[in-house]
Amino acid sequence: MEPYLAAAVQMSSGPDRSVNLARASGLVREAAERGARLILLPEVFAWRGPRQEERSHAERIPGATTAVLAALARELGVHLCAGSLLEAVPGEPRPFNTSCLFAPDGELIACYRKVHLFDVEIPGRVSVRESATRAPGGDVVAVPTELGTLGLSVCYDLRFPELYRRLVRAGAEVLLVPSAFTFPTGAAHWEVLCRARAIENQCWLVAADQTGTSPHGFPDWGDSLIVDPWGRVVARAGDGEAVITAEIDRDYLARVRRELPCLTHARLAV
């Protein structure tokens, strides 16, 4: 299995969809020019604004934004994971936070609706109640591709190892984690959670984060990462908008699983 290059795109998205899409397209093109065949955008990359406006800015999938992304994936010939979008669904008053995966021919091959919603109160620092404005998904989504099986997740999911164990049992080799981690929780837990999910599931992990100050008034963590199946950070973004890349070697993944076969030793069902 030939190694290939994966990229994580770090952005600072705001409430202007056209500006966000233009910036995302430019950064995806940069990643493709550097040779990336798998490119990940961050959570809510296309629109990020006041919570009370989320419903009015949610959109259907497929829709106008996914059409732009499908065309971009087709033009560049890449697998493009479009972080997440706020998805409007008839009959559901709250939008889903949905990650979309496009094949190199532009086909929308998978959608994953974020299962775990971020309801957190850190006095004086962060107050978020995603469940007030967003609906939770309920499906585990692992997608076989020519680049290996990709396991889809979004941000707060990172704290729930049972989701990733289900993904790896479904064949996942590369875990994708588009995110908008806050600064306080990111400083404390972002890297250790990313490394833990890669180590315990013996997977590559690509995590693209938001950076800067969110429209909700608190800072985002940034520090997008690519982690190998042994838990080593092989690429890191730091602060600011950026593209990071790393080589994904599936033979190395197979060797890690063969030499330390802990996935075959699990005794408890998830």
Catalytic positions = 43, 114, 155
Query: 3-state DSSP call for residue 222?
Result: coil
Q: Which of 243, 242, 157, 240 minimizes the C-alpha distance to 201?
A: 157
The answer to whether the CB of 5 falls within 8 A of the CB of 35 is: yes
> How many residues belong to the chain?
270
Check if the beta carbon of residue 119 is closer than 8 Å to that of residue 129. Answer: yes
Q: Which residues lie below 8 Å from residue 167, measured CB to CB, with a gap of 6+?
A: 140, 142, 151, 152, 153, 175, 201
DSSP-assigned states of every residue in 113-182: E--S--EEEETTTEEEEGGGT-B------EEEETTEEEEE--GGGGG-HHHHHHHHHTT-SEEEEE---B
Report CA 227 to chain centroid distance, whole Å. Answer: 13
Residue 139: how many other CB atoms lie within 10 Å: 9
Contact 39, 28 (CB under 8 A): yes
Which tokens go with 121?
A: 């109160």
Cβ(129)–Cβ(94) under 8 Å?
no
